[in-house]
Amino acid sequence: MAYHELIKNFSRIRDYMKEFYVYGFKSRGGYTQKSARSYDDEKRRVESWLGDFMSFKRTPEGKNVFLSIDSRTVESNPLYTAWKTKSFTDGDITLHFILFDILYEPSVRLTLQEILDRIDREYLADFGEALEFDESTVRKKLKEYAEAGLIRTEKSGRRVLYSRSGMTELAGAEDFLDFFSEAAPLGVIGSFLKDRLPAHRSRFSFKHHYINAALDSEILLALLTAIREKRTVILENQSRRYERITTVEVVPLKILAGVQDGRWYLMSLHLKGNLINSYRLDFLKSVKPGEPFERYDTIARVYEKLAEHSWSVSCAWSRRRLEHVEFTVRVLPGEEYIAERLEREKRCGTVEQTDETHWRFAADIFNSQEILPWIRTFIGRITQMNFSNRTVENKFKEDLEAMYRRYGIEESGEAGS
């Protein structure tokens, strides 16, 4: 098939863009799942859409292609571009502009036949080989636009009249859209709205801005819709490690958004196993709505209580699975910002001052492994640790010793004792 810049289906480009943007170390031969031709086409598309951010590197395995973007320096998320590339037919685009020209303001109300007459008489007569739009094509298109909210239909006797929906004023919304198209969930929709405004310079920039979640927007929308409707969903989930796709039916309970790594999760009740399971949104291939779930409110309430003990995504039905975590850090005079850090960054648990120069964090959480990365950020001032799960505590200490070795540091005493 000949190359086209636009695409019909988003899922393949979603995979490639993620590889180019998040990982970016594979050469052409590393994309084992897809054909070389497919790789060439997708690379060419991304290059055309995002050429300014595309980089290349020669390695012994071949040429690596990657997207390198400092998201702090861009006004708007460049990955939104991918959502503006849906293909269409010659008839689609021609009919689109003609229909909205005929129905140019809400007061123009016409029947299908009147619209058809005007298309042929006023719009296509000058073209040598004029496109032909039959009644069913135009009716279908009007129905599609009515479902999208662009067209209104009303009955007048036995006739159906079509008119365009009223305009919503967006003037003066520049700042609002500049901000929320980046900072709100499903911001790509805000970016569609921004496209309607005259070009302008944004007065906002964004730090710690993870832009790749944009590629999962349709997955997120399907999940949020199911949560609102309190219904189950059927997920196709792909394991990154094994590349195997599994299908599961779950009750979606909550979306967890990570602002420290850009990873978004679905928290859900796995129906068959009666487990609280998490799924990474970027690993979900598809989400299909299932049936309304009767006990939704009860389950959601129980989950909310249990989630108070989740450091990130681990959660279980029974509080008996909670593990106690405790560590103390040294805070010298003038270092009060460390105590502030504990308060600010803790996601659950308590912080207390134990003496003039020591502060202790304590919590009961479902998986003490999850808190280790945070505790490591206090390396250099950890004076005491106490985990009910000794295996995890020992793992922390072993890791610390491994770090000493990796950086060539002689250990003269026991760390963290």
Considering beta carbons, is residue 157 or 198 the nearer one to another protein? 198
Question: Closest by alpha carbon to 178, among 80, 76, 259?
Answer: 76
Considering beta carbons, is residue 98 or 323 the nearer one to another protein? 98
Considering beta carbons, is residue 73 or 158 the nearer one to another protein? 73
**Cα atoms in the 13 Å half-sphere on the side-chain side of 103:** 27
CB-based contact 174:197 (threshold 8 Å): yes
Q: Which residues pair with 56 in a beta bridge?
A: 65
Considering beta carbons, is residue 57 or 288 the nearer one to another protein? 57
What's the CA gap between 250 and 274, in Å, rounded? 9
Non-local CB neighbours of 413 within 8 Å, separated by 6+ positions? none
Token pair for 87? 């293909």
Q: Which residues pair with 389 in a beta bridge?
A: none
Token pair for 82? 């991918």
For residue 50, the minimal CB distance to another protein (Å) is 8
For residue 36, the minimal CB distance to another protein (Å) is 19
Polymer length in residues for the chain: 417
Token pair for 49? 């859409």
For residue 282, the minimal CB distance to another protein (Å) is 9
For residue 315, the minimal CB distance to another protein (Å) is 11
Considering beta carbons, is residue 129 or 272 the nearer one to another protein? 129
For residue 201, the minimal CB distance to another protein (Å) is 10
For residue 390, the minimal CB distance to another protein (Å) is 18
What's the CA gap between 67 and 346, in Å, rounded? 33
CB neighbour class for 1 (10 Å; exposed up to 12, middle 13-18, buried from 19): exposed
What's the CA gap between 74 and 54, in Å, rounded? 14
Considering beta carbons, is residue 158 or 205 the nearer one to another protein? 205
For residue 122, the minimal CB distance to another protein (Å) is 7
**Cα atoms in the 13 Å half-sphere on the side-chain side of 129:** 2
- The phi-psi region of residue 153 (left if phi > 0; otherwise alpha if psi is between -120 and 50; otherwise beta) is beta
Considering beta carbons, is residue 79 or 157 the nearer one to another protein? 79
Orientation angle between helical segments 90-102 and 135-147, nearest 10 degrees:
70
Considering beta carbons, is residue 75 or 249 the nearer one to another protein? 75
For residue 350, the minimal CB distance to another protein (Å) is 13
